[in-house]
């Protein structure tokens, strides 16, 4: 199986190679055609020069001089009259030249005419220029150049192009090698990180070296690793806390059950031990109920049944339900909700939220204190606050009070009967109905929980 670095390098190589091949072919043909055009223009220029000389001084000596001069160059000249008869030539006229001389000429312009430009199939490239001397002598000046010389020139060009192509390919391979390594190095690091994640090692670090898509991917993997590591720690702590919470009542139940089985106990002592066992059984049952409810809320099938309710009536019903418990503890419970507010929520879930928060206020407040339920309307929102005058929450504990199984003072857990699950359930029930919950607190002054729902009717 090809690695991604090899695949990426191969894709880049093929793409650049194709682009380079097309570019080189185009450049090669363009250079060759330009060179042929230059040779033809040079032939026409030499022919025009000979024409000018013949038109000024037409004579046998001039004709011989032109032929002699061209015999010492890489070009050949043939001068004919209008009928096509050869007057003079710099070299013996061969069949290749005769083929060109026998072509029917159109009207030859003053600047000359190209009569043979194909260098691949013919022995010569050739041009023709007409002349008319002052003695009314008329004819044509044919200029020839062997295509073998042109082919040698083009062969040299091909060697240069081949050398340049090989050199470019070599540099391209080196650049692609380092480029593919540079591009795939972060991907390889991410692959190793995801392998560790799949093996359960969530304490991985993925460096973010850029701010492009690769950097965003690395950041996402790092965030996933951090989240999984956090969830792993949370799970371990959750299991440890649950084990502790289950072990404590079971230890009480087993210990007091063993004592209650003794035959030397009187009925009063046995009854007191049975009562303790009963209390611990109820405590254990409450814990299991809360755990079951939390698990139920985590399922996708958990839903709420919203309906339009009159908030004042609902809060009055909750107030009347919990007021006896506050009165029994010599505490006051006030309700402040003067406006006639309508809300779209699940009444049963909302009552569960309020009862849980009010139960916390009852547990952690002393006698002769006041707890207030306050409902207010603001532009676009409705807020419900539960304000108590209890012992408050330390600042360092506030960020964690909605975490599962988190308790502010674990030593008071058995006295208050809390497991650290109630506020976590409250937060989930608030959020599943589209609301938010926040808390402010001061030690020895009290705590305020505020629930905010967007939109009001």
CA distances from 78 to 16, 54, 129, 287 (A): 50, 13, 11, 117
Which pLDDT score is estimated for 414?
46
The answer to the question of residue 194 being in a domain is no
* Encoded tokens for 122: 């013919």
Domain CATH code at residue 107: 3.30.450
Q: What's the rounded mean pLDDT across residues 194-209?
A: 77
> Which CATH number is 433's domain given?
3.30.565.10
Mean residue pLDDT of the chain comes to: 83
- Whether 46 is in a domain gets the answer yes
* Same domain for 358 and 248: no
Same domain, 325 and 438: yes
- Domain-terminating residue out of 298, 318, 337: 298
Q: What is the DSSP string of 81-122?
A: ETT--EEEESSPPPHHHHHHHTSPP-PPPTT-EEEE--TTTS
| Residue 115 and residue 16 in one domain | yes
**Which distant-in-sequence residues (6+ apart) come within 8 Å of 257 by Cβ?**
273, 277
Banded model confidence at residue 208, pLDDT cuts 50, 70, 90: confident
Whether residue 281 is found in the same domain as residue 315: no
Same domain, 429 and 314: yes
The pLDDT assigned to 457 comes to 47
Same domain for 264 and 329, yes or no, is: no
Q: Based on the domain organization, do 351 and 414 belong to the same domain?
A: yes
Which of 119-128, 260-269, 286-295 is the least confident region?
Answer: 286-295
Asked whether residue 26 carries a pLDDT value surpassing 70, the answer given is: yes
Q: Are residues 356 and 287 in the same domain?
A: no
182 lies in a domain?
A: no
Q: Tens digits of per-residue pLDDT, 304-316?
A: 788 888 988 999 9
- Residues 345-404 have pLDDT tens digits of 889 889 988 988 998 899 889 999 999 999 988 888 899 999 999 988 888 888 888 877
Is the pLDDT reported for residue 433 higher than 50?
Answer: yes
The answer to the question of residue 379 being in a domain is: yes
Question: Which of 103, 120, 154 is the C-terminal boundary of a domain?
Answer: 154
Q: Which helix (H) or strand (E) holds 126?
A: strand 124-132
**Distance between CA atoms of 365 and 322, rounded to whole angstroms?**
15
Highest-scoring range by mean pLDDT, 113-117, 118-122, 190-194 = 113-117
pLDDT at 89: 92
Same domain as 351, residue 283: no
Residue 46: predicted pLDDT = 92
Structural domain contains residue 179: no
Domain containing 18 equals: 4-154
Our count of domains for the chain comes to 3
Statement to judge: residues 48 and 113 lie in one domain? yes
For position 149, what pLDDT does the model report? 74
How does DSSP classify residue 203?
A: -
Please indicate, yes or no, if residue 169 is contained in any of the structural domains: no
In this structure, of 239-248, 252-261, 335-344, 424-433, the range with the lowest mean pLDDT score is: 239-248
- 395/406 Cα distance (integer angstroms): 14
446: left (phi over 0), alpha (psi -120 to 50) or beta: left
Dihedral of CA atoms 248, 252, 258, 262 in degrees, nearest 10, equals: 170
pLDDT above 60: residue 123: yes
Q: Kindly report, residue by residue over 57-84, the tens digit of the pLDDT.
A: 888 999 999 999 998 888 999 999 988 8
Provide the percentage of residues in the chain whose pLDDT is more than 70.
Answer: 90
Question: Pseudo-torsion of CA 243, 247, 250, 252, nearest 10°?
Answer: -150
Q: Is the same domain home to 260 and 121?
A: no
DSSP 209-239: --SSHHHHHHHHHHHHHHHHHHHHHHHHHHH
Residues 327 and 288 in one domain: no
């Amino acid at each position: 199986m090809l690695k991604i670095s090899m695949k990426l390098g191969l894709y880049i190589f093929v793409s650049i190679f194709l682009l380079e091949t097309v570019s080189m072919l185009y450049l090669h043909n363009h250079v060759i055609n330009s060179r042929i055009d230059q040779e033809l223009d040079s032939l026409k220029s030499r022919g025009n020069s000979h024409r000018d000389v013949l038109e000024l001084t037409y004579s046998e000596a001039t004709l011989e001089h032109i032929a002699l001069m061209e015999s010492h160059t890489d070009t050949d000249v043939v001068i004919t009259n209008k009928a096509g008869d050869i007057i003079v030539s710099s070299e013996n006229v061969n069949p290749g030249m005769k083929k060109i001389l026998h072509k029917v000429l159109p009207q030859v312009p003053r600047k000359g005419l190209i009569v043979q430009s194909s260098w691949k199939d013919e022995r010569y490239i050739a041009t023709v220029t007409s002349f008319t001397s002052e003695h009314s002598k008329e004819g044509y000046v044919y200029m020839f150049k062997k295509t073998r010389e042109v082919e040698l020139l083009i062969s040299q060009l091909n060697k240069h192009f081949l050398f340049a192509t090989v050199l470019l390919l070599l540099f391209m391979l080196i650049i692609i090698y380092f480029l593919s390594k540079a591009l795939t190095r972060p991907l390889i690091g991410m692959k190793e990180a995801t392998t560790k994640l799949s093996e359960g090692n969530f304490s991985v670090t993925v460096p973010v070296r850029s701010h492009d898509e690769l950097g965003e991917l690395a950041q996402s993997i790092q965030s996933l690793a951090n989240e999984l590591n956090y969830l792993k720690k949370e799970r371990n702590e959750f299991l440890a806390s649950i084990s502790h919470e289950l072990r404590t009542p079971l230890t009480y139940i087993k210990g007091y059950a063993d004592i209650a089985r003794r035959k030397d106990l009187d009925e009063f002592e046995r009854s007191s031990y049975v009562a303790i066992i009963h209390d611990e059984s109820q405590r254990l049952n409450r814990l299991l109920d809360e755990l079951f409810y939390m698990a139920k809320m985590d399922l996708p099938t958990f839903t709420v049944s919203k309906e339009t309710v009159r908030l004042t009536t609902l809060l009055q019903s909750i107030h009347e339900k919990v007021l006896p418990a506050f009165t029994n503890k010599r505490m006051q419970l006030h309700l402040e909700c003067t406006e006639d507010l309508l809300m779209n929520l699940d009444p049963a879930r909302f009552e569960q939220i309020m009862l849980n928060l009010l139960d916390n206020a009852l547990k952690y407040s002393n006698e002769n204190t006041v707890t207030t339920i306050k409902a207010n309307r603001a532009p676009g929102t409705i807020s419900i606050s539960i304000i108590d005058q209890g012992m408050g929450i330390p600042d360092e504990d506030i960020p964690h009070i909605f975490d599962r199984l988190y308790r502010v003072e674990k030593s008071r857990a058995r006295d208050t009967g809390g497991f650290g699950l109630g506020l976590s359930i409250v937060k989930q029930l608030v959020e599943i109905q589209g609301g938010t919950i926040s808390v402010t607190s001061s030690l020895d002054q009290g705590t305020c929980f505020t629930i905010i729902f967007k939109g009001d009717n």
